[in-house]
Each structure stands twice: as C-alpha cells, then as structure tokens.
Amino acid sequence: MRGEEMKASVRFDTQFHAGEIDRRIFSGFLEHLGRAVYEGVYDPGNALSDEHGFRKDVLEALRPLAMPLMRYPGGNFVSCYNWRDGVGPLSERKARPDFAWKSIDPNTFGTDQFMQWAKKLGTAPMMAVNLGTCGATEAAALLEYCNLPKGTYWADERAKNGHADPYKVKTWCLGNEMDGPWQAGHVPAEVYAQRADQAGKMMKGLDGSIELVACGSSGRFMNTYMEWDRRVLEYCWEHVDYISAHRYSSNSRNDSAWYLAEGLEIDRVIEDYAALLNYVRALKKSNKRLYLSFDEWNVWYRETSGDGGWKTAPHLLEEVYNLEDTLVCAQYLSSFVRHADIVKVACLAQIVNVIAPILTRKDGLLIQGSYYPFIAYAQHARGKALTPMVTAPLYKAGERGEAPMLDVASAYQPESGEAAFFLVNRDQHTDLTVELSFADAAFAKIADVQVVSGPGPKVANSWERHDVLKPSAGEALVMDNGRARVRVPKLAFVCARGIVSRT
C-alpha cells in the first residue's frame, strides 16, 4: 500500500531482556588511513587546532557521541606498523611508507599523541598490536610501554618521552583481519592462532588485568567464514576474551528496498557467532565465556580505492552518507542492543573523514546523517536490553523476500523507570503508527520523540546544505490504557523516550 498509514505493535515485558547493555558497543575506530588522523583529528598549524595540534571542532563534534573506547591504530595499517616509529621526539621520527593504503605516514602522531587526544575526548584506548609482520615480543614491548610503571626499559622510555604514569590500556586487539589475503603477514588460521596465543600469554603475563580480542573473520564473504573463527577459538580459548567481527554494508546494486532490510543480515552474523561461541565452549567443556567484539562496522561501498599514491593524508574512503545509509547504521546499533548478551564491544569504523559521520575542511566540518542515530543510542540506550515482540506489516525487500517494515530495539532502566525505544521504518512508501505496550508496566509519559527522515532514500547533507538530515520533533501520545502510540514516518529513524511504571 502506497501513500497510506499502517499499524504495528510492539510488546515488552520488563523481566524479558537480553541483559545489561554494555556501553562499549558505542565505541569508535581511528586508523592511520587517508585523512582520518592527519587533517582529521590532528592538524597542527590550523586555526581550528589547539596547542597540541588537535582539531577542536572535531573534538567538540565527537564528544556527544560519548564513545567509551577508541580502537587504534588500525585496521590494515597495523599489520605493517612499527609502533616505535611513532614515539620519541618529533624531530627524530622518520616518515615511513604504508603498505596497506599506499600512503606516507610522517609518524608525527603516534602512541603518546593518541593517548593525549583520547584523554581530551574522554574515551579509553583500545590498542591493536601488529601480528602481521611482527609478533609476541613486539606486542609485549608495546604493552610494557603503555601499562607498566617505571623501572623497565620501555616504561622508562615512556617516562623519558614525558609520560611518567602508565596509560593502563585495558583492551587489546591481537592483530587485524589476519584471515584476509590483503593483510600484510596474512597466514592460515592455525598459524595466526599460534601467534595470537603466544602474544596473549606474554601480554597477560605482564599485565593480568587486560582483555584480549582475537581476530575473527573479515566478513561473511570470506570462504573461511566461521571455520577460521572456530580454529582460532579452539586454540586460543583460554587466553583471549573476545572474537572480533567485521561488516561493511553496501547498496552497490542500487536496490533500496533490499538494502533497507540489511538489519536481517546483521542479526544473522551476530547469531552465527553466538552459536559458534556456544559450540566451542561445549567442545572444551569450559566454564569460561567469550563474547563478541564487533569492532568494525559501517556503510562502505562508493569510495573503495585504497591507493593513496604515496602521499601524506590522501583523500581516501570519504563516503557521503544519505538517508538509507543512516537507517542501515541505526539497524546496526539496534542489533547490538538486542544482542546485549553476546555483543560487548562495537566500534564505528571510522570517526572522521574516512567512512565517517564527520568530514573536515581546513575551515570547518560537516556532520553527516549517520551521526544523529548514533547520538540517540549512545545517550539513551542504557540499562536492560528489552526483547521486543513485534507485529508489523511486511514489505517486498528484493532478493531478501519479505521483511518487516519495522525494526525495533529498546532499553529500560528499572531504578528510574526510564525507557528508550529505537524504531526504524524500512518502507519507502508507508507511514506507521506503532503501539508500544508492556505486559507488566504502563506508560506514565512520553518525554521526547526525535525523528530523522527525509523525502527520499538518497537525500544527504552537503557542504552547501548542512541540514537536509537532522533530528526533528516527532509525534507520540500516552493512552488511557497505559499504552503509547508513536508515529514512525516512512524512511525514518525515531527515538522515543518515556517513563514506565511497573504494575
């Protein structure tokens, strides 16, 4: 039905949930790639930068996203990166070629600069070690530099570089996408598992408080998907805490109806990992639980050239995000919330210029549409991840068959009664009136409704028009029976917040 309004309903029970939402699912990723670091977060000499060279406007734009972790320095970049090139006096650092992106890195932004920038932003570092062209010894040396108190060689070097106190990095990635033939130092799963296990033992031997993320598959497109992960988990189970998942969504076929049902595939990937983790745990008869770190996710398909032409800060992967991309990004976040029992870390890849919600020029920045749903989840998805029971009309989603028009996630804080509802209308033609109700509670009020929508799936913000996609006030009401109705326009993301009281 086109041009009409249809009804949907969502039922909740405050006792029926996937557990506590881990705030780290709203984390980010900063890689030495294109203009992410240089001309992105770091631009010395620019009038918009502070005394350390950090772009103040970028920091101000990122702070509302409230990202608990920031993964660094890569990504593909890390697999041929020598972290020692990025520490010490700036005048003594050498420029190096980057195998991954065919660029030149001047190394003027390294570990210490990143730690200082992360502190200014209010995020915690999530460091990746090079297990492509380096190994356990170098990984342990970086951990020593970051986490140990003075009294050892690399800890003393950190102090000599002006940072007496340890950085106390908690979360560490054991390499990046080592299943990928494009990766420097790519090896079969068995070889990577040995490297990761050796590095993990050494690193935890130096600091037993850390958590480790083993490389999982680069995506469902890999022939070794799940088989790689199984072999790695079976070998490394006792010394790692997470397995990583990566996914980049694409509408290269230009089929919006198909693309807008991308949330179904995101759910499937997470459920694949849940099944695998349970299988390996059972196989090992282990009491230990491992979780998922979905530490690269986003839309990426238009700007795919990875050839930087051996330049410093080349323009690479600078995607422009439209409304349908924004709605897909919202579906990633809803899936992470719904699967709070398995997804404990997730990193938007990336944060500025490179496949990012923020683009910079020398004189300012542009906020893209995907920025706004992220803020809504990061600020309001707190407490328990309620399990939604959805009744919604279906629409034709191309090769995906029929898909629900409505995608839903919800968060509930028992102590205060605050609840947040994240709704995506995937359909391009039909508005929805959604009735929200609880089996064991009633709405006291709806406090706020914000909508991100537009006249078509391809509309986007631009340097000429910054406000095509931005939040606006939505419509909702609380009925006498304690239920609430929320209007979800076609092609829209809605965040509704309210207070519910247990009955």
Q: Give the model confidence (pLDDT) of 273-283 as tens digits.
A: 999 999 999 99
Please tell me whether residue 112 adopts helix, strand or coil conformation. Answer: helix
Q: State which residues form the domain around 447.
A: 5-15+385-502
Report the mean per-residue pLDDT for the chain: 97
User: Which of 347, 381, 415 is the last residue in one of the domains?
Assistant: 381
217 and 146, same structural domain?
yes
11 and 29, same structural domain?
no
User: Which of 381, 411, 440 is the last residue in one of the domains?
Assistant: 381
Residue 353: predicted pLDDT: 98
Give the domain CATH number at 425.
2.60.40.1180
Tell me the percentage of the chain whose pLDDT exceeds 70: 99
User: Which of 381, 413, 444 is the last residue in one of the domains?
Assistant: 381
Q: How far apart are CA 216 and CA 224, in angstroms?
A: 10
Q: How far apart are CA 129 and CA 176, in angstroms?
A: 8
Please tell me whether residue 285 adopts helix, strand or coil conformation. Answer: coil
What count of other Cβ atoms lies within 10 Å of the Cβ of residue 25? 28
* 3-state DSSP percent of the chain in helix, strand and coil, to 5: 30, 30, 40
Give the domain CATH number at 159.
3.20.20.80
Q: How far apart are CA 311 and CA 187, in angstroms?
A: 29
Residues annotated as part of the active site:
177, 296
Residue 5: predicted pLDDT: 83
Of the CA atoms within 13 Å of residue 369, those in its CB half-sphere come to 30
Let me know how long the chain is.
503
Residue 166: predicted pLDDT: 98
Q: Give the model confidence (pLDDT) of 426-475 as tens digits.
A: 999 999 999 999 999 999 999 999 999 999 999 999 999 999 999 999 99
Helices (H), 39-105: 56-62
Q: How far apart are CA 467 and CA 457, in angstroms?
A: 15
Is this prediction's pTM over 0.95? yes
Q: How far from 360 is each of 160, 310, 366, CA to CA, in Å? A: 34, 21, 6
Handedness of CA 273, 274, 275, 277 (dihedral sign): positive
Q: Could you tell me which of 222, 62, 102, 470 has the C-alpha nearest to residue 54?
A: 62
438 and 343, same structural domain?
no
What is the 3-state secondary structure of 170-209? CEEEECCCCCCCCCCCCCCHHHHHHHHHHHHHHHHHHCCC
User: What integer is the mean pLDDT of 108-115?
Assistant: 98
Residue 298: predicted pLDDT: 98
304 and 169, same structural domain?
yes
User: What integer is the mean pLDDT of 215-236?
Assistant: 97
Q: Which two tokens stand for residue 282?
A: 């059972």
250 and 183, same structural domain?
yes
The total number of structural domains that make up the chain = 2
